[in-house]
């Protein structure tokens, strides 16, 4: 039994942490958010230069061959800096579909572009009615000779704003909520028939809603077996929850630490508010919840890498995370008082980001339900 | 990073399993299976069985006849102990007074007391709390005044667990009333048969008499029963808190309890179905289970850090707080399952007129009484609020 990072993993974590500390001050980030694209191409190039994009890809695909431990190490540090560049949505999420399902010629075309950072990828799998059910797909893909024709709408496509290439789930057979019949496609974002509605998310990220009208996709861009996309989607979602969860655990650490520090300097009734026992109890509980959710993250990472009880462990983690996000997040705002509500202070930005992560790939209630189902 | 046992650890686990399966005395086995109460004689028999094997001193170093096990080995032992429903050993002698005697006692005290503790020949109880000294333990008032080669002890201890069965009591007593409260305390061992000691049972809300008041009226205690130096008792008492925390999370026994609750839910009828199909109950169960998984990994994380040489920090307060909260939630789940059937009062005093050592419910019997009893866990051993105060000060620097 070993809960420590290897030397290599420690170095990776430190290099990400150094980047966040030296190049990602809160004011730098604010400037990035103000820019037209909402993220920095320069930072994306730094990620590629430092070889962070290659982490999740296998050595034979030209990557580093990292496990979930490396993913966690990078994302936890990104979480501490509230990094908004589309690293998660392109490298981890869209990249994960390619890693898990692409054939060798598809891998050869796409993976190098993600690793060298020259193209941005995004995944489109949510629909208005689907909520968090990955099999609930109305978007259709009809085979016409050597092509498929895609029709339907996808919502909340993270990084969809700037994406060059999309991974899209569409139904090739069956009814909207059938488990079978979901297929995955690699689609160039500028293909005729795709219309985009760009928007910002509440936590400062950029995303898009996409509409597909008779979008022609060659059969060579079918990702994995026709109709068997659900297993891949679920596998991808598990890894995505680990990555986003690690980001949230990093951000939650900052939230409780900043709250403690603020309570030592904020004076009311002639003493630092951190001297008040009622607030000390709350901050102790924030610390405890962080210890617990970090343990749960480690559990999920180790189960994921060992391939044991993956889906059930992921749901357990997401339930614990949902609780920690609400408890630590809400109390961070409460203890900061009015200043915690402002846009000026970073605390509110951490709160918004973790709240967003709480919902992504299923909120607490969804995963509690799923945990119960998987326990049967 | 991985959560697997090594081959050596797996071999160790098999050895423990084999011992429990083969050496648990028949009388105990049958009582445990039937959920019958355990008495002092059962506890003594089991500890003697373990002592023969060399396993009674789980936390003890080899030089005193202990196992010398690593933290990981102890964790494995506790896990197997819970899985086999084998009783745990009473801690007052083995893991409370003995480590203090080992660290601060003289050779005469070590040879006089340790072997009898290990072999369960002598039972101990803890004389810490007083009516006016609970969370603020250092404000205790029981006095010990030096009189030649004796101390004369006067005062009152309370919440003394199993004092009615104890041969000896280890006490914190005030030997200097004129200094700061923490520095005037000494650590004294007292024979419970000494004239002037009066034990009065306290009847608790679950009907049990686990705890007692112990009165001292001019009790004459030989000075050779003083541990270490006079007025250093507070240091010795604190030593215990930082040194022996293994098992404090109670994860192993909570996991076992949860398994039993699940099995019980499947056989508990609810309308045309069972409670296992009751969605409100299922969700409540899942929430406790998830919190317990997190605690298990927190426990392992701290254990893994301590094994690599880091001193156990105040983070172990997290284990006490979450561990006891989960223990309490488990009693609620059992009460939920039991409904009316868990509310039939069972007198802890049996037909033999003797009271069982602790309340043990089988199935849904005693669900409410156990619920009442387990409220103690967030109060004892430094209440959970005190633990949060420790985190605020020692970890967060508030």
List chain B residues with CB under 8 Å of A9: 1
Contact call for B5 and A69, based on CB within 8 A: no
List chain B residues with CB under 8 Å of A6: 1
Confidence of residue B326 (pLDDT cuts 50, 70, 90): very high
d(CA A116, CA B23): 64
Taking the CA of residue A284 and the nearest CA in chain B, the distance in Å comes to: 5
pLDDT in tens, A51-85: 999 999 999 999 999 999 999 999 999 999 999 99
List chain B residues with CB under 8 Å of A375: 282, 286, 289
Confidence of residue B352 (pLDDT cuts 50, 70, 90): confident
Q: Which of B337, B343, B332 is nearest to B268 (CA)?
A: B337
What is the structure's pLDDT at B316? 83
Q: CA-nearest residue of chain B to A297?
A: B294
Q: Compare B135 and A222 and report the one with higher pLDDT.
A: A222
Confidence of residue B361 (pLDDT cuts 50, 70, 90): low
Phi/psi of residue A352, nearest 5 degrees: -65, -40
Contact call for B286 and A306, based on CB within 8 A: no
Secondary structure element (H or E) that encloses residue A187, with its range? strand A182-188
Contact call for A5 and B396, based on CB within 8 A: no
- What's the length of chain A? 376
Question: ipTM higher than 0.90?
Answer: yes
Taking the CA of residue A153 and the nearest CA in chain B, the distance in Å comes to: 34
Average pLDDT (B32-52) is 92
Contact call for A372 and B283, based on CB within 8 A: yes
Q: A208 Cβ partners below 8 Å, 6+ apart?
A: A122, A157, A160, A161, A163, A196, A197, A198, A199
Confidence of residue B2 (pLDDT cuts 50, 70, 90): confident
Q: CA-nearest residue of chain A to B71?
A: A1
- Please measure the distance between the N-terminal and C-terminal CA atoms of chain A and give it in whole angstroms: 29
Average pLDDT (B333-352) is 89
Q: For chain B, which residues make up each domain, given as ranges?
A: 7-89, 124-234, 245-395
Domain B245-395 belongs to what architecture?
Up-down Bundle (1.20)
- Please measure the distance between the N-terminal and C-terminal CA atoms of chain B and give it in whole angstroms: 33
Closest partner residue to A291 (CB to CB) among B300, B315, B398 is: B315
Contact call for A1 and B3, based on CB within 8 A: yes
Q: What angle do CA A28, A32, A36 make, to 5 degrees?
A: 160
d(CA A17, CA A7): 15
Given a cut of 70, is residue B242 above it in pLDDT? Answer: no
Chain A interface mutation, best of B79, B278, B279, B293, highest count of A Cβ atoms under 10 Å: B293
d(CA B146, CA B176): 10
CB atoms within 10 A of CB B85: 16
Average pLDDT (B78-94) is 94
Segment 60-89 of chain A within 8 Å of chain B by CB: 69
Q: Which residues of B56-81 are buried (b: 16+ CB within 10 A; e: fewer)?
A: bbbbbeeebbbbebebbbbbbbbbbb
**C-beta of residue A247 within 8 angstroms of C-beta of residue A357:** yes
Secondary structure (DSSP) of B165-206: G-SEEEEEEES-TTS-GGGGEEEEEEETTSTTEEEEE---TT
The answer to whether B1 faces chain A, any CB pair under 8 Å, is yes
Contact call for A284 and B298, based on CB within 8 A: no
Exposed, middle or buried, B240 (CB in 10 Å: 0-12/13-18/19+)?
A: middle
The answer to whether A278 faces chain B, any CB pair under 8 Å, is no
What is the structure's pLDDT at A169? 98
* Helix, strand, coil shares, percent, chain A, to 5: 55, 15, 25
**C-beta of residue B65 within 8 angstroms of C-beta of residue B117:** no
Contact call for B293 and A299, based on CB within 8 A: yes
Q: CA-nearest residue of chain B to A373?
A: B282
Category of B196 on φ-ψ map: left (φ > 0), alpha (ψ -120 to 50) or beta = left
Across the strands, what pairs with A92?
none
B113-to-B94, B105, B118, B154, B228 alpha-carbon distances in Å = 11, 10, 9, 24, 15
Domains and CATH numbers, chain A: 7-119 (1.10.540.10), 122-228 (2.40.110.10), 231-375 (1.20.140.10)
Tell me A211's DSSP state. Answer: E
What is the structure's pLDDT at B245? 66
d(CA B9, CA B281): 37
What is the structure's pLDDT at B348? 82
Across the strands, what pairs with A207?
A158, A199
Q: Which of A10, A191, A233, A210 is nearest to A101 (CA)?
A: A233
Contact call for A288 and B290, based on CB within 8 A: no
Q: Which sequence positions of B are flagged as catalytic? A: 244
The answer to whether A301 faces chain B, any CB pair under 8 Å, is yes
List chain A residues with CB under 8 Å of B293: 296, 299, 316
Domain B124-234 shares a fold with domain B245-395: no
Contact call for B295 and A292, based on CB within 8 A: yes
User: In this prediction, what percent of chain B has a pLDDT beyond 70?
Assistant: 97
* Tokens describing residue A50: 């430092």
Average pLDDT (B261-270) is 95
Name the stretches of chain A with pLDDT < 70. none
d(CA B343, CA B36): 18
Widest pairwise Cα distance in chain B: 76
Category of B223 on φ-ψ map: left (φ > 0), alpha (ψ -120 to 50) or beta = alpha
The answer to whether B290 faces chain A, any CB pair under 8 Å, is yes
Given a cut of 70, is residue B289 above it in pLDDT? Answer: yes
d(CA B285, CA B360): 21
Given a cut of 80, is residue B350 above it in pLDDT? Answer: no
Secondary structure element (H or E) that encloses residue A165, with its range? strand A165-171
Looking at domain B124-234, does it have CATH number 2.40.110.10?
yes
**C-beta of residue A238 within 8 angstroms of C-beta of residue A310:** yes
d(CA B13, CA B262): 25
Three-class secondary structure of residue A1 per DSSP: coil
């Amino acid at each position: 039994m070993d809960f420590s990072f290897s030397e290599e993993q420690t170095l990776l974590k430190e290099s990400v942490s150094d980047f966040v500390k030296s190049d990602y001050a809160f004011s730098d980030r604010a400037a990035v958010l103000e820019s037209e694209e909402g993220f920095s191409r320069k930072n994306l190039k730094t990620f590629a230069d430092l070889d962070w994009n290659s982490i999740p890809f296998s050595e034979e695909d030209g990557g580093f061959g990292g496990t979930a431990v490396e993913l966690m190490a990078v994302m936890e540090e990104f979480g501490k800096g509230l990094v908004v560049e589309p690293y998660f949505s392109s490298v981890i999420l869209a990249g994960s579909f390619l890693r898990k399902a692409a054939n060798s010629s598809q891998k050869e075309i796409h993976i190098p572009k993600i690793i060298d950072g020259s193209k941005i990828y995004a995944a489109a799998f949510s629909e208005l009615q689907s909520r968090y059910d990955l099999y609930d797909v109305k978007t259709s893909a009809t085979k016409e000779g050597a092509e498929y024709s895609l029709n339907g709408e996808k919502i909340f496509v993270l990084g969809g704003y700037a994406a060059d290439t999309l991974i899209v789930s569409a139904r090739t057979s069956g009814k909207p909520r059938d488990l079978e019949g979901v297929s995955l496609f690699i689609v160039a974002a500028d293909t005729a028939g795709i219309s985009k509605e760009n928007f910002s998310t509440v936590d400062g990220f950029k995303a898009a809603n996409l509409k597909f009208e008779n979008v022609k996709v060659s059969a060579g861009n079918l990702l994995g077996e026709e109709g068997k996309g659900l297993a891949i989607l679920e596998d991808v979602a598990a890894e995505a929850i680990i990555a986003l969860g690690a980001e949230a655990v990093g951000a939650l650490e900052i939230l409780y630490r900043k709250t403690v520090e603020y309570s030592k300097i904020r004076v009311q009734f002639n003493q630092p508010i951190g001297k008040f026992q009622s607030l000390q109890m709350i901050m102790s509980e924030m610390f405890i919840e962080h210890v617990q959710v970090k343990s749960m993250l480690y559990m999920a990472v180790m189960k994921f890498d060992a391939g044991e009880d993956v889906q059930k462990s992921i749901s357990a983690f997401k339930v614990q995370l949902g609780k920690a996000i609400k408890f630590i997040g809400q109390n961070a705002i409460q203890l900061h008082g009015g200043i915690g509500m402002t846009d000026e202070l970073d605390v509110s930005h951490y709160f918004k980001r973790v709240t967003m992560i709480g919902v992504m790939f299923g909120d607490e209630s969804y995963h509690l339900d799923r945990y119960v189902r998987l326990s049967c | 990073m991985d959560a697997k046992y090594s081959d050596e650890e797996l071999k160790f686990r098999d050895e423990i399993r084999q011992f429990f399966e083969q050496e648990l005395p028949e009388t105990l086995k049958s009582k445990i299976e039937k959920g019958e109460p355990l008495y002092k004689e059962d506890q003594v028999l089991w500890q003697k069985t373990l002592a023969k094997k060399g396993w009674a001193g789980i936390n003890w170093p080899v030089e005193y006849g202990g196992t010398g096990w690593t933290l990981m080995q102890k964790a494995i032992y506790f896990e197997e102990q819970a899985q086999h429903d084998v009783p745990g050993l009473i801690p007052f002698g083995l893991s409370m007074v003995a480590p203090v005697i080992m660290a601060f006692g003289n050779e005469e005290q070590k040879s006089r007391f340790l072997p009898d503790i290990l072999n369960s020949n002598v039972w101990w109880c803890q004389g810490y709390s007083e009516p006016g000294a609970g969370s603020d333990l250092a404000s205790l008032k029981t006095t010990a005044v030096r009189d030649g080669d004796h101390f004369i002890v006067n005062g009152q201890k309370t919440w003394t667990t199993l004092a009615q069965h104890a041969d000896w009591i280890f006490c914190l007593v005030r030997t200097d009333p004129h200094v700061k409260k923490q520095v005037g305390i000494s650590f004294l061992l007292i024979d419970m048969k000494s004239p002037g000691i009066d034990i009065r049972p306290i009847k608790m809300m679950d009907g049990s008499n686990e705890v007692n008041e112990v009165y001292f009226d001019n009790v004459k205690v030989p000075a050779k029963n003083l541990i270490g130096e006079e007025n250093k008792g507070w240091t010795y008492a604190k030593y215990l808190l930082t040194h022996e925390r293994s098992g404090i999370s109670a994860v192993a026994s909570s996991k076992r309890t949860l398994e039993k609750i699940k099995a019980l839910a499947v056989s508990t009828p609810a309308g045309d179905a069972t409670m296992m199909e009751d969605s409100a109950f299922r969700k409540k169960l899942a929430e406790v289970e998830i919190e317990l998984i997190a605690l298990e990994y927190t426990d392992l994380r701290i254990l893994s850090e301590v094994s690599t040489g880091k001193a156990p920090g105040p983070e172990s307060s997290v284990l006490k707080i979450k561990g006891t909260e989960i223990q309490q939630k488990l009693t609620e789940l059992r009460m939920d399952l039991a409904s009316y059937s868990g509310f039939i009062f069972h007198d802890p005093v049996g037909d033999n007129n003797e009271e069982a050592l602790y309340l043990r419910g089988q199935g849904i019997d005693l669900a409410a009484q156990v619920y009442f009893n387990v409220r103690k866990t967030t109060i004892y051993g430094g209440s959970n609020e005190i633990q949060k105060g420790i985190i605020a000060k020692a970890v967060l620097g508030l």
